[in-house]
Homo-oligomer: A and B are copies of this chain.
Amino acid sequence: MKSTLANVASRAGVSLATASRVLNNSAHNVTPDLRARVLAAVEELHYVPNAHAQALVRATTSTVGVIVHDVSDPYFAEIAGGIQRVATDAGRLLMICNTYRDAERELAYIDLLRSQQVEAIIFAGSGFVDRQVERKLTAHLESFSAAGGRVTFIGRHHISGDAVLPDNIGGGRDMGKALAQLGHRHVGVICGPAQLTTTDDRLNGFRAALQEAGIDLPDEYLIEGDFSRDSGARAAAALLDRGMPITAIFALNDLMAVGALAALRERGIRVPDQMSVAGFDDIAIARDVTPTLTTVRVPMAELGARAMAMALEPPTDHFRVEQLPTSVILRESTRQR
């Protein structure tokens, strides 16, 4: 016996409409007697409404899509946690999709989520600088928004929509100031993928601060990673091989900084005595590596929570952009030069 409203109704000896009403606490009142009979039938049949049938007839779905680069990356895991919390409180279900930084997959997921009639889509993680990609993205989202779907971005700009951003430029600048103040004049930087806006912002802020302090940041001091731990290790090694007089390494995220720490250890270079290391994000393990990692704290969970909240609020006539502050946290991996 399938668990459908019709079965519940007939078992309770009432009409379909009545059964529906008691399940939805409809404005129409139902006789306590009938109500009880329906509830009993629901219990006996282990009835749960078919969400798809409901979705077909209701205006909205109460499920929201989340598109991230990779949830198993602690940065996104933290953000997802923040989103989840607010979503759960609001009775929303999450569909989490990993793009693994593939722009095409991102587009495919938008369609997929659209086909699921999600009420909102939250993008977490940096966007692509590529103009072409952004255009396609916008086109795909347009049909979604047109149908009443809400869209929110976390840490991505150059795009039309509500957004909540960590202050990447400010964070980069503050780290630049901090390292300059510590007396470092030659700093190697492990960047993220060139086409990500996050990379741009953090680096630009950092470079600006150095310039203010009269410090140059030549191109050969820069090296590209992909925000993963292992790429950080490789990049640090490569940086060392270039034989430059650097006294500090700034990785544009913590995961790469952790990799750099490992690479330095392997080569017997003591941190911070021989080389200072700094990261960005302040993921949980930043406190557990040795030495503990100096970094820029990004309020990840809060970023996620705010984005979810915005997506649930009624749309405004203009796009809202919220910026959340970042702050440098000095730990053991950096020291005065």
Contact = CB atoms under 8 A, between A and B. Distances in A.
Interface of A: 2-3, 46, 48-53, 55-56, 61, 70-72, 74, 77-78, 80-81, 84, 88, 93-98, 111-112, 114-117, 139-140, 142-143, 147, 229, 258, 261-262, 265, 284-285, 287-290
Contacts of A3: 143, 147
B288 A117 contact: no
Contact of A115 (B48, B95, B98, B285): B48
Sorted nearest first, the 5 A-B pairs with minimum C-beta distance are: A290-B290, A72-B77, A46-B143, A52-B52, A52-B55
A86 B209 CA distance: 45
A74 B84 CA distance: 16
Nearest to A95: B95
Contact of A262 (B111, B258, B288): B288
A115 B262 contact: no
B51 A115 contact: yes
Contact of A48 (B114, B288, B290): B114
A142 B48 CA distance: 13
Given A48-B111, A74-B74, A96-B94, A2 B55 contact: no
A53 B54 CA distance: 10
A307 to B, nearest CB: 16
30 contacts: A46-B139, A46-B142, A48-B114, A50-B115, A51-B52, A51-B116, A52-B53, A52-B117, A56-B56, A70-B81, A71-B77, A71-B80, A71-B81, A71-B96, A72-B78, A72-B81, A74-B74, A74-B77, A77-B77, A88-B98, A93-B97, A93-B112, A96-B96, A229-B284, A229-B288, A258-B288, A262-B287, A285-B289, A288-B289, A289-B289
Task: Classify the secondary structure of A's interface with B.
Answer: helix
Given A2-B147, A51-B52, 4 more contacts: A46-B143, A262-B287, A285-B285, A289-B289
Contacts of A61: 52
Nearest to A289: B288
Contacts of A116: 51-52, 93
A50 B56 contact: yes
A50 B262 contact: no
A15 B50 CA distance: 29
A153 to B, nearest CB: 20
Q: Which of A2, A61, A93 has the most CB of B within 10 A?
A: A93
Nearest to A261: B288
Contacts of A46: 139-140, 142-143
Nearest to A65: B93
